Structure 1
Amino acid sequence: MEELTNLFHGFAVALMPFNILVMVIGIVLGVIIGVLPGLGGANGVAILLPLTFSMPPTSAIIMLSCIYWGALFGGAITSILFNIPGEPWSVATTFDGYPMAQQGKAGEALTAAFTSSFVGALFAIIMITLVAPLVARFALEFGPAEKFAVYFLAFCSFIGLSKEPAFKTVAAMMLGFALAAVGLDSMTGQLRLTFGFTEMLNGFDFLIAVIGLFGIGEILLTMEDGLSFRGSKAKINLRVVLQTWKELPRYWMTSLRSSVIGCWMGITPAGATPASFMSYGIAKRVSKNGKNFGHGEIEGVIAPETAAHAAGTAALLPMLSLGVPGSPTAAVLLGGLLIWGLQPGPMLFVEQKEFVWGLIASMYLGNIVGLLIVLTCVPFFAAILRIPFSIVAPLILVLCAIGAYSVHNSTFDVMLMLVFGVIGYLLKKCNYPLAPLVLAIVLGDKAEEAFRQSLLASQGALGVFFSNGLVGTIMALGLIALFWSPLNAGYARLRSAATGRPRPAGPGYE
């Protein structure tokens, strides 16, 4: 009952005129970012984060989260009309969305995609509303050892459950830990890795690193690829929307299953992209129209879009309740909260109730506003793709430079941003994931501090991380996540030996 009362207070905050305005602006900017290949939710939030420095924290995070919702919606537009995934998680949408557009059903495909996105996000928001306060209340019992165990679980999950090669994930994470260690040691006051640069006494600013890694790195790659856009035109009128909405309830089981898959993959660090592919694959296997998938089946649009939005939204649950981001965008939002002096985690629900519940209420409203905007403005957003990329790219680079400079009004930060841009470009060229790097930059110093505090309290005994049932369970879960692939492969071998059948081929079974 208390949560319901807090949520109503949150709606009072979210419905303030200024917050409604920033919500609409955020959705529009997010859709534009989602439409432009080479950008994305994390990139857009990182690039536009400096715009919110003069806002109150609640309005700022509402705008940033709405940029994220808009980017989630926008990726479907390019996937369906142009066969160009605006976001990685929109790849699965192209399988049936683009064939539908080629058959003259672009309006139906877009309506199905947007509505399914709305349903998936709404499912995840309801879950956050119900579960986040319980998780936060439980986490109030955490000491330094328990906090480190949670960070350990997050790091191990990225390594063991990621589709990326474990070596590359660990290498990216180690680089992030090294960057997080730059500056004054919080425990001893000694300088680390500053190399004589006084500007680096306080370490790398998170925002500079993220703008460079995501914004500059992606733009360099996109310029190298030389994108050109060709696609279908689409108009969505009320008749098409109502006809599609009339048909969608037939696929309620697909929507429910995809929402559950998306929420699970969002809470774990797997993310929206694997969720969309898994949901598409299961829908194809289960559906009675499975053989039509890939040829313009509307269910092939519903499944990945529902799962992707559920996962993208659910990733905010561990970020708000535990201070551990579940996705790159959640990591950027976490950095934004830290910039405003807000510490995500269980105490946020105690000390900043108005902020937390205002944000949760804005998720409901932002999802509705996003659905209305994308349904009415598809031709406008699709027309953005006809602007030559040679014009778009310099504008984005200028935005990145302004954003980096505005952090400390320092040209040194702009130079650092360019260095990180080159690093991001090289990592992407070598297929190294950026998400573990961002996670390590954000949480590296906090994990180190919790680890050292635990060892000081236990006089150097590592047994402190298994000293009670709670911390021992979390550490055990982390070790299981870390070694999930070999454990899974070993289980498959035992099962095949017991049944006498050959092991299935595929990742994890080599």
Structure 2
Amino acid sequence: MGNFDLLMQGFGIAITPMHLMLMVAGVLMGLVVGVLPGLGAPNGVSLLIPLTFTLDPTSAIILLSSMYWGALFGGSTTSILFNIPGEPSSVATTFDGYPMARSGESTRALTLAFMSAGFGALLGVIVITLLAGWASRFALRFGAPEYFAVYFLAFAAFIGMGSAAPAKTLVSLATGLLLASVGMDSVTGSIRLTFGFEDLLSGISFLVVVIGLFGIGELLSTVQEGLRFRGVASRIDLRDVFRTIAELPRYWATYIRSGLIGIWMGITPGGPTAASFMSYGIARSSSRKGAPFGTGRPEGIVAPETADHSAGSCAMLPMLALGVPSSATAAVMMGGLMIWGLTPGPMLFATQPDFVWGLIASMYVSNLIGVVLVLATVPMFAALLRIPFTIIGPMIVAICFVGAYTVSNATFDLWLVLIFGLVGYLFSRLDYPLAPLVLAMVLGHKAENAFHQSMVLSDGSLGIFFANPLVSGIMAVGIALLVLPKLIALGSRFRRRVPVE
């Protein structure tokens, strides 16, 4: 059966009254998460996972993914109206979105952002539809050595291609791997790194870690920055909406280029934030004459929003097909799948086709719902942001603690939330990336088990990771990602020092 037929079956699963209601609820909750600084998509999704335990896995993942799309849309709203990015990936949107809104064109700026986001998301979902079957069939060739090579490639890609300094990314990855090893070793049965605390025998829940890092940690950073909400007019004029939609075709080159950047950065571990900044920079360097960027240039809104949402959508492909999340939110969703008893990877497509294609079909529908709802609710969420932060802040703290306690009903987890909140705050202030830490926590056990199995198969020889063209090719790409960026940087530095005759 082809992908199109499977997709049609997926629409039959997704377009039911129950699932449509969950999409609307998820998008609305995501808009709140995206609008309120201090929450963010990874934390919002992690807080919602305990509430999905009463749902079947298909309904649960539709709700979580809808919240993710809503959070991305909500971050754009605050970036344009208040110059406050609700999501890290929305920072680039503030550069031209807020100046355009300040000049009296808030409806135009919001429409450009939301339509570009919808186009980017649609492009990403189309790519998932076309490549999902091929990716799953290709991954069926994988054994333990190949899976370890893929995990190595994911870690290497974060170090070599990430926007943070490689040494800081390495520290973040090592911290995540260390946290993943706490508790009982699933291979040898030995107890590790519990330091006498019985509560740590079962390990550290990645949900508790994520809530602390992204919830309490981001809130502490927000408080230190002395956040003040200063907004502009937020009324939506339908005539301006249709007038702006009519001018969208003139930016077709920016749409295509930014969409392709987002697709690449979503499938690889670049992520939406890096995609939006890269797309904005390329749009600025390749722009024609006109108003300078940073003063309300339309391409300055179109480029980051398209790349942001296409990257966010495409991040689901490696998570579903290979079991390798390429963003923090995808890592949290993957953890949810494992809690529900589903193992992401090629066998998921063979054993749970209704789940996979129901999710892919829901991505089409929920993004369309997101565009409509975000245009309709802009005034409401703009009014929400005018509530003093002294009221919103404690509400976010309460939500975080309630969400952490519901994971396993353990008081010890509340202390862990505080500890990891401080860790997240320190990481943020010192510019250490958090996504590699979450990725390492989710993949740590899987990478360790794959390594153990590979060593058993090869009687302890590392040569198994270069035993056939597939595994050696993946390992070679991973090593190249570690080495080449540094060599390129050294080469460019050497060329600058050598005088040109």
Name the TM tier (shorter chain).
Answer: over 0.9
Aligned letter for 1:384? L
How far apart are the structure 2 equivalents of 1:29 and 1:418? 24
Give the corresponding residue for 1:265: 265
**1:81-137 per-position Cα deviation (integer Å, ceiling 9, x unaligned):** 111122222121111111111111100010010000000010000000111211111
Q: In 2, are the aligned partners of 1:169 and 1:432 still within 8 Å (CA)? A: yes
Give the corresponding residue for 1:343: 343
Give the corresponding residue for 1:404: 404
Deviation at 1:264, TM superposition (A): 0.5
Q: Identify which range, 201-210 or 291-300, moves more after superposition.
A: 291-300
Give the corresponding residue for 2:456: 456
Kindly report which structure 2 residues correspond to 1:62-211, keeping only aligned pairs within 5 A, or say none. Answer: 62-211=62-211
How far apart are the structure 1 equivalents of 2:446 and 2:83? 42
Give the corresponding residue for 1:379: 379
Give the corresponding residue for 1:48: 48
Q: In 2, are the aligned partners of 1:284 and 1:290 still within 8 Å (CA)? A: no
Aligned letter for 1:135? A
| Pair 1:106–1:289, CA change in 2 (3 A) | farther
Aligned letter for 2:451? F
Secondary structure of 1:204 counterpart: coil
Count of aligned pairs: 501
Deviation at 1:196, TM superposition (A): 2.0
Q: In 2, are the aligned partners of 1:38 and 1:218 still within 8 Å (CA)? A: yes
Give the corresponding residue for 1:426: 426
Kindly report which structure 2 residues correspond to 1:266-305, keeping only aligned pairs within 5 A, or say none. Answer: 266-289=266-289, 291-305=291-305
Aligned letter for 2:482? L
Q: Identify which range, 342-351 or 482-491, moves more after superposition.
A: 482-491
**1:393-429 per-position Cα deviation (integer Å, ceiling 9, x unaligned):** 1111111111111122221222222222222222222
**1:231-273 per-position Cα deviation (integer Å, ceiling 9, x unaligned):** 1012223211110110001111110110001111111111112
| Pair 1:367–1:202, CA change in 2 (3 A) | same
**1:257-290 per-position Cα deviation (integer Å, ceiling 9, x unaligned):** 1000111111111111221122112112222135
**1:419-452 per-position Cα deviation (integer Å, ceiling 9, x unaligned):** 2222222222222111111111110111011011
Q: In 2, are the aligned partners of 1:334 and 1:344 still within 8 Å (CA)? A: yes
Deviation at 1:484, TM superposition (A): 2.8
Kindly report which structure 2 residues correspond to 1:326-337, keeping only aligned pairs within 5 A, or say none. Answer: 326-337=326-337
| Pair 1:11–1:501, CA change in 2 (3 A) | farther
Give the corresponding residue for 2:362: 362
How far apart are the structure 2 equivalents of 1:461 and 1:145? 11
Aligned letter for 1:366? S
Q: Identify which range, 483-492 or 337-346, moves more after superposition.
A: 483-492
Q: In 1, are the aligned partners of 2:121 and 2:367 still within 8 Å (CA)? A: yes
Q: Does 1:438 align with 2:434?
A: no
| Pair 1:501–1:442, CA change in 2 (3 A) | farther
Deviation at 1:171, TM superposition (A): 1.0
Deviation at 1:27, TM superposition (A): 0.4
Secondary structure of 1:312 counterpart: helix
Give the corresponding residue for 2:395: 395
Q: In 2, are the aligned partners of 1:284 and 1:291 still within 8 Å (CA)? A: no
How far apart are the structure 2 equivalents of 1:183 and 1:497? 51
Q: Identify which range, 26-35 or 217-226, moves more after superposition.
A: 217-226
Q: In 1, are the aligned partners of 2:263 and 2:311 still within 8 Å (CA)? A: yes
How far apart are the structure 1 equivalents of 2:92 and 2:389? 24
Deviation at 1:38, TM superposition (A): 2.2
**1:154-184 per-position Cα deviation (integer Å, ceiling 9, x unaligned):** 0000111111111111111111111101111
Aligned letter for 2:53? F
How far apart are the structure 1 equivalents of 2:451 and 2:90? 38
Aligned letter for 2:321? S
Give the corresponding residue for 2:35: 35
Is there any run of 5+ residues in structure 1 with no aligned partner, and where? 503-510
Aligned letter for 1:104? G
How far apart are the structure 2 equivalents of 1:99 and 1:226? 22
Q: In 1, are the aligned partners of 2:39 and 2:396 still within 8 Å (CA)? A: no
Aligned letter for 1:153? L
Aligned letter for 1:409? N
Secondary structure of 1:377 counterpart: helix
Q: In 2, are the aligned partners of 1:161 and 1:484 still within 8 Å (CA)? A: no
Identity between Structure 1 and Structure 2 (%): 58
Is there any run of 5+ residues in structure 2 with no aligned partner, and where? none
| Pair 1:416–1:56, CA change in 2 (3 A) | same
Q: Identify which range, 135-144 or 487-496, moves more after superposition.
A: 487-496
Q: Return structure 1 stretches of 4+ with deviation > 3 angstroms.
A: 490-498
Give the corresponding residue for 1:505: none
With normalisation by structure 1, the TM-score equals 0.95
Deviation at 1:494, TM superposition (A): 8.3
CA RMSD of aligned residues (A): 1.7
Q: In 2, are the aligned partners of 1:32 and 1:74 still within 8 Å (CA)? A: yes
With normalisation by structure 2, the TM-score equals 0.97
| Pair 1:109–1:501, CA change in 2 (3 A) | farther
Deviation at 1:496, TM superposition (A): 7.7
Deviation at 1:493, TM superposition (A): 6.6
Q: Identify which range, 278-287 or 57-66, moves more after superposition.
A: 278-287
